[in-house]
Every structure is written in structure tokens, then in C-alpha cells.
Structure 1
Amino acid sequence: MYKKVIVLAANQAYVSYLETTIKSICSHMKQIKFYILNEDIPTDWFQLVENHLEKIDSEIINVRCSSAMFQDYKLPTEHLNYAAYFRYLIPNHIVEDRALYLDSDMIVTQDLSNLFELDMQGYPVAAVEDLPTTSEGFNSGLLLIDNKRWREEDVVKQLFDLTAQHHHEVYGDQGILNLAFQDNWYRLPLTYNLQVGSDSQQFTLGDMAWYDLFKGKPAVIHYTTGLKPWHQHHFNRFREEWWFYYGLSWDDVILRKYPAKEGWSTLVSKPPYQTAIYTNTVNLHEAENLIKALPQVNFNILAHCYFAPGILMLEKYKNVTLYPCFDPLTHEKVFNQLDFYLDINYEGEIYNIIQKVVDKGIPFYSFQATNHGHEIPHYVFENQDVQGMIQHIKNYLNTLENK
């Protein structure tokens, strides 16, 4: 039976992220032959994964590569390592004529079998434009490779020669691959490599058009830059999608136990109600007492900047979610699910949030010292009357339960 060839590269430190990528692929596809380019991943791991893959008529090949041959080359950023250059070696180690290379900071959200049947129109490689950086070149995180052509044209030698000459001038392996192929590559739709790692950067630059380039969930989500979804806080889109696949057991993957379209919410127990605090200060009046008294409420705290330690400490509570440097899509996701709003931050109002809450038609609660809605009817409590606010919120939530 023909198996689709998918190639990944990683080192031992990246193995849990690599496995998450593999689980995401196997949640949507069968009959896959994985090649893993690496120099230090234990054989024990390969044996365990092989045991799982056999159940979906798939296999995994341990391809040992040495980073020593790349040590003289420049790495463009700290979050990259020399395993990024291993993709050069695909023609030397993969015997099949077509291979799909994926970075290990990607997840796959649908069946990619159609790529293996794609007419590449004579091009040696297919990829996605390197948006939002440029539309002139491609991002090397996903490469559909005509491996037969690469062998015939000795692309490996071309890549090493170009790297020796230009590694200090371009962006790592991606820059070299773009030098090698220039305009000689097939353009895939953006859905096959949406670089959500760029979200925070584009928001900071005021590039709101970036968010309009692609609507919905892409086939391949690429968590570029150093802001990975497995880091502490919520910076970019589709963070929960990564954690969904990370959280799946192999039995879940093989049995398709959890529908991928339902995602993260099927794996975790979340409070049934949602509130939010939009703030530009660490000073939140009685926040911790409210959080402890209302475990049935998830407290979303959003800011345009990074959080100070006083806010970060609140993450010890299961019903707190922090969103530093939030962008418009994060706001939309959080705001659309709110049941009520807490106007308990000192200093100024941000994001015109009070008017947005009024327009949404949900109640909001303030203390006298934090009241930003002076002319708007809402619930305002004495600064010391946190128990009164808690009881009023509980009564309100009871009315929601009875609807």
C-alpha cells in the first residue's frame, strides 16, 4: 500500500513538540511514512511511537544526521537550532519521489492527502509565501518536494555551496532555499502555512490587514517566532489548538475519540461562566478575593503590555487566564463569551471597554474607587464591600442557570 511521506526534523529537546505535530497529522490521516531527521532523539522514543503508528498502517524512520557539518553556518535567531538545516539532506535519505516536509512547531488540522496528488507543474518545490514578511519568497516551514528532481539536479550540493557563500547574509536555511529556487517554486494557498507567530508583531506595527488575509482555521498552523504556544502566556491565535493535540493520548488519536473540530474544550473542564478585566495597571481592587469566591467564573485579564508580578501570581488559580499584549482577535474571542464585566482596575479605562460592554448588554460591576462608568447605570459597591459584590454576582449567575 502506498504511504504518504512526511519528513520532520528535531533534536531531543524538541521531541514533545515534534510528537504533538505527529499526533495532529495522525488525527486526520493514515498510511503515513514518517522520516525524522535528528542526531540525538533516543531510539526508545521511536519504538514507542512506532507501536502506535502501526495501528493506523503507518511507520516512522529514524534518520540520523550530524549538526557538525552545519556548525560553521550562522543561525539567524536564538530560537532556531542547526536541525533546521537538516532538510537540505532529504534527497540523501528519503527514497520516495515526493515528500512533504513540515517544521515541528506546526500542527495539522485536516487531511493533507491532496498535496501528494497535486500537479506541481514541473516546479521542484511547492511552498507558501512568507507572509506577512514578504510575498516575493516562501517560508520553508512547509515544503512539498519533488524529491526525484532534487536528486537529479543535485540540489543538496547547490544548497551547501550557496550556504557556504551566503549564510551570513540571509535568514538561515530559508534564505538559502529562496536563493536556490528564486522564482522556480509552486505557490500553495495560505491555508497550508499560516504563520500565527507573527500576530503580536503585526498588531504592534498596526497591520490590521494581516488578520484579514485568512479567516477561519487553516489546514496547517505555524507557530513561528519565539512566541510558541507552549510558553506561559497567550500571544497569538490558535494557542488552544496546539494544546488540544498535545493533550490527546495516542489512543485518542487512533480511535478518533475526540472530534478535532470540538477541540480543547473536550479535553478540559472549564468554568461555565466568563468575566474579564481590561487593565493598564497591576492594581485590581479585590481581584484575588473575587477569584477565590467565584470558582464557577473564569477571569480573563487582558492588557496591551506585559504583566507585572502581581498579576502573574494570579495564575495559580485555575479560573484565571492572562492575555498580555492582546490583539483584536483575542479581544473578540474573549469578549464574545462574557457573561458580565468587572470594572475593578485603577487608573484609566482601556480599549473603550465600558461602552463595548454597554453595547453588548451585559451587566458590569465596579467599586467606587475604580468606577469608569460614571454616567452609565451599573452596579457600584463601596470599596470595602467585596462580599456584597460577590453575592450580587452569584445571584445574577443563578438567573442565568434558570433561563
Structure 2
Amino acid sequence: MISIAVASNNNYAILMAVLIKSIVFNHHTDEDITFYVLNDKISSSNQDKINSLIKNSPEITIKWINADSVFPKNVKFPMDNSAFPFTAYLRLFAPFVVEESVKKLIYFDVDMVVRKDVSELWNMNMQGYTMAAVLDVGKTAGTPWGGIPNYKQLGIDANAKYFNSGMMIIDCEKWRNENIPEMVFKAMRDNIEHVNFADQYGLNVVFTGKWLAIDPLWNWFANIYHPNPKCIHYLDIKPIFKSYNSDIVLQKEFFKYLEMTPWKGISLKSDFSRLLGKAIIKFKKKFISLVS
């Protein structure tokens, strides 16, 4: 059984549908797949559309887990200045809400398309590590425009490998025993003025020198063309927006799978809706930080 966690709010339900469809379409080995959908207020109609993706695939299961039951009660989120929604933090708690029998979990951001059989990723040797991932665009902690801005103060080597948290293979038992969410949140709270990419900052602080780097084709960034990536990550503006500015060939790959979903034929969205969404998230964070 392959166990996969994804997290989304209603705004990105369409992206999650494309991701799930791409995984199912390209899965050819005999392992069953269970998707654990960490659901941040996705509408019932969108849930129905996503469930329809697997109606002819008895070997695939989708389990919906509401965000309210994922986050611990009275959890206090670090209030950074980014436009990442609180939905992003759901992934940190995924190993705590799956069944105890689930020993390993693959996490995917929803702005991805998987082009190869996910069983290859699933059967990768973790070599005793708690987590495996792919190097980020900024490959080291000391990267000036990314990485860990205060790496010197934290005693981290400038050349320490820095990963992108959009795809992670997680040893659930080790993750729970080490209480990774609390460690990540503490790293963020203690260094909040330096937090640049939400929990990716905290994850890299916590896992510096303690994670397994795997084939970059399993988290290939769409701003750089490659003829055969195993998993495409649309890091910047998403393919559903008119202002999409990454590789056009890789955008077409997204729409190949979109046309296999109930959202086929949709028009590209305006940039206004994207920018408004970011502004609302930043406003909420600022408001919460002022009243808490």
C-alpha cells in the first residue's frame, strides 16, 4: 500500500485534482494507493469532483481529513510575513493523523504533476533518515536570495544542503517520536524576522545535515525546461493563471491532466484573483499577530 498525503484549501482544489489524476494515470504497478487529503474547507461539490477521479479505480482510495482534526487544539502558528496560508502547515501533522500501520508517507504540494510511477519514489531506500527530499532552487543554506537568511547566527555551514519541502518522503514513526512540528514551529518563532518561506525555513533549520537528498527529477521546478521530469513543481505563478511565467511546455503537461478532470475546458484566471488571495492571507496574519 502506497500512502500519499496532500493538503489544500478550496482555492487550490483544481490543482489537487490534477495532481491526483497524474499520479493515478501513471501508476502501473500492483500496489494500492491511499490518498490522505488534508482538507481545509474544500466545498462538497469540489470534493465530489475529486472523488469522481477514482470511480473506476478500485485500487485507489481517497480519505478526507478535515483540517480542524489535523491541527492540535490551541495550536499557535508562527506569524511570518509570507503569503503562505495556514493550509501549508497541515503537512507537518500528516504523520500524526494517518493510521498507526502507515510507516511511511509521501507528501506532495498540490501545485505538482507526477509523470512517472509513484511506486519508484515509494520503494526508495530511506537509509535510516527521517525524511528525504530534493535540493531547492537555492541549493544551499547560504544562498543569498533563499536558503536560511540567518545561517551564520545559527551556526549552520553556508554550503549545507537546502531542500524544497514540496515533496517529502517521511518516516512517520521517526517524525512523530522527534515531534517535528513542534521543533519546526520553535525554529520559526525563535527566528521569525528571518523566516522567508514559511515552514520550509523551519524544516531546513531542523533537518540541516539530517535528510536524504534524492533525484532532482522528483521535484523539478517548472521555470527550467527538462524533457523528462518525473515530477513537475509549479513553484511560481500556477498554470491556471494568465500571468503564468514558467516553461510553456511544462504548462501544457499540466493541462494534459487537467483535461482528464471535471475541470476540463476551464478558462485561465486573471491575475487579480491571485494577488487578492495573497493580500488577504497577509492581512489575516498581521491581524492575528496584533490581537494575540
TM-score calculated relative to the size of structure 1:
0.53
CA pair 48-228 structure 1, distance change in 2 beyond 3 A: closer
- Return the alpha-carbon distance in structure 2 between the equivalents of residues 15 and 45 of structure 1: 7
- Offset from partner CA, 1:4-30 (integer Å, 9 cap, x none): 111111101111111111111111126
CA pair 152-63 structure 1, distance change in 2 beyond 3 A: same
8 Å Cα contact 2:185/2:199 also seen in 1:
no
8 Å Cα contact 2:53/2:261 also seen in 1:
no
8 Å Cα contact 2:138/2:162 also seen in 1:
no
8 Å Cα contact 1:21/1:105 also seen in 2:
yes
- Return the alpha-carbon distance in structure 1 between the equivalents of residues 187 and 138 of structure 2: 25
Question: How far is 1:131 from its partner?
Answer: 2.0
Within the alignment, does 1:113 sit opposite 2:119 as a pair? yes
Within the alignment, does 1:180 sit opposite 2:180 as a pair? no
Structure 2: gaps of 5 or more residues? 141-159, 266-292
Greater relative contact order (Cα 8 A, min sep 6): structure 1 or 2?
A: 2
Pick from 74, 77, 87 the counterpart of residue 83 of structure 1: 87
Question: How far is 1:75 from its partner?
Answer: 4.5
CA pair 12-131 structure 1, distance change in 2 beyond 3 A: same
- Offset from partner CA, 1:160-191 (integer Å, 9 cap, x none): 32232234312211010001111100111110
- Return the alpha-carbon distance in structure 1 between the equivalents of residues 88 and 81 of structure 2: 9
CA pair 181-217 structure 1, distance change in 2 beyond 3 A: same
Structure 1: gaps of 5 or more residues? 200-210, 253-266, 268-403
Q: Secondary structure at the match of 1:221?
A: strand
CA pair 88-196 structure 1, distance change in 2 beyond 3 A: same
Aligned to 1:159: 184
Question: In terms of Rg, which structure is larger?
Answer: 1
Aligned to 1:363: none
Q: Percent identity?
A: 27
Within the alignment, does 1:18 sit opposite 2:19 as a pair? no
- Offset from partner CA, 1:27-56 (integer Å, 9 cap, x none): 112621011112201344434533542532
* Counterpart amino acid of residue 161 in structure 1: K
- Offset from partner CA, 1:167-217 (integer Å, 9 cap, x none): 4312211010001111100111110011124x5xxxxxxxxxxx6xxx422
* Counterpart amino acid of residue 21 in structure 1: L
Aligned to 1:32: 33
CA pair 7-24 structure 1, distance change in 2 beyond 3 A: same
8 Å Cα contact 1:125/1:146 also seen in 2:
yes
Q: Secondary structure at the match of 2:174?
A: helix
CA pair 166-45 structure 1, distance change in 2 beyond 3 A: same
- Offset from partner CA, 1:133-172 (integer Å, 9 cap, x none): 5472000000000111112222232223223223431221
- Return the alpha-carbon distance in structure 2 between the equivalents of residues 217 and 98 of structure 1: 26
CA pair 196-133 structure 1, distance change in 2 beyond 3 A: farther
CA pair 158-234 structure 1, distance change in 2 beyond 3 A: closer
Q: Secondary structure at the match of 1:138?
A: strand
8 Å Cα contact 2:130/2:211 also seen in 1:
yes
- Return the alpha-carbon distance in structure 1 between the equivalents of residues 81 and 54 of structure 2: 33
- Offset from partner CA, 1:222-259 (integer Å, 9 cap, x none): 0102x221111552220101111111147x9xxxxxxx
- Return the alpha-carbon distance in structure 2 between the equivalents of residues 229 and 49 of structure 1: 19
* Counterpart amino acid of residue 6 in structure 1: I
Q: Secondary structure at the match of 1:41?
A: coil
8 Å Cα contact 1:70/1:82 also seen in 2:
no
